[in-house]
Amino acid sequence: MKNESITFIMSGIRQRRRRWILVTSFLAVLACALACAMLLLGNTIYPIQDVIRVLSGEDIQGASFAVNTIRLPRMLAGLFAGFAFGIAGNTFQTMLRNPLANPNVIGITAGSSAAAVFCIVVLHTSNAVVSIASVVAGLITVLIIYLLSKGKSFSIGRLILVGIGIQAMLNAFISYVLLIGDQQDIPAALRWLNGSLNGSQMDELPPLLLTVLIFSPIIILLGKHLSMLELGEQTAASLGVHTDKTRIALILSSVCMIALATSITGPIAFVAFLSGPIAKRLVGVGFSNIIPAGLVGVNLVLASDLVGQFAFEVRYPVGIITGLLGAPYLIYLLIRMNRKGDL
């Protein structure tokens, strides 16, 4: 009987592992296909052999400029920003045990956005300064939200409510800055606020690339502890997790990634919100969905950008399309949580 139970458990583990590998592989292949589509498609559709020759360094009239200057930076920005949004959103939702506890809803993205808009509209700073300001503002916003929601004990509900309030204040500040700013700067700021890959440049991408390469492995390595935090504070501590240190490491890593991504692409709506739940539904329970959530974020951004560029007569920024996808899910989630009494 005991051997049969062990065999049954091991069979379940193998099935879940196989499912994780299949889902992750499919998401990776889909991301590669979407990335290739972004390089091939545009006002002029270039054959794949020309794109490969351009990427290998060969100069082809027309194709070299379109691929190297416009399409490749756009694709890479969407790829790394989507991965950062996906992992960061999933980390917050898992760590705080609430699907609403993501950087978009609790005000972290708004903090980075407020700093970036102020730099763009009022200070007219360089992209490097915008990136630094976004990261600093994101970290300060997290600290303020944590201190205001701390109370006598840590409360997830209180943190979400404080975050929503901070987000409202920061959105009001953004509106004020846009109101007093020069009219010539408003279109660029609004395009950035909607979340857009337009105008992405190769020299902007190294900080985002380094941030993703540095902090993604940290979150992945802490994945086991993250899963334990999902069980609750006391349970995680009883299992040997240093909850405060782990939470700080996860928050700092997530905020740095999402702030850098926001500084380059703007706050692409609902990618951080949707990636974790979609990955969890695809992967199931038993294995970490950190990497799948990042890949879901990549696919959401790249697919939405392609839809925004080519599915309509007018071209829309990627954030408009992801907003159309995420808003119904947010309404559904609020209704479901209200019925369960979680609100």
**Domains along the sequence of the chain with CATH:** 71-340 (1.10.3470.10)
Helix pair 271-283, 290-310: axis angle to 10 deg: 120
pLDDT in tens, 42-94: 888 888 898 988 888 888 888 888 898 889 999 999 999 999 999 999 998 88
Nearest Cα neighbor of 43 from 67, 59, 25 is 67
Per DSSP, helices labelled H in 100-203 are 108-118, 127-150, 156-180, 186-193
Which residues of the chain are under the pLDDT cut of 50? none
How many Å apart are CA 291 and CA 216, to the nearest integer?
9
Residues, the chain, total? Answer: 343
> What's the gap between Cα 22 and its chain centre?
23
Query: What pLDDT sits at residue 77?
Result: 94
Query: What pLDDT sits at residue 42?
Result: 84
Q: pTM of the predicted model, to two decimals?
A: 0.89
- AA identity, residue 226: L
* Positive or negative: CA dihedral 209, 210, 214, 215: negative
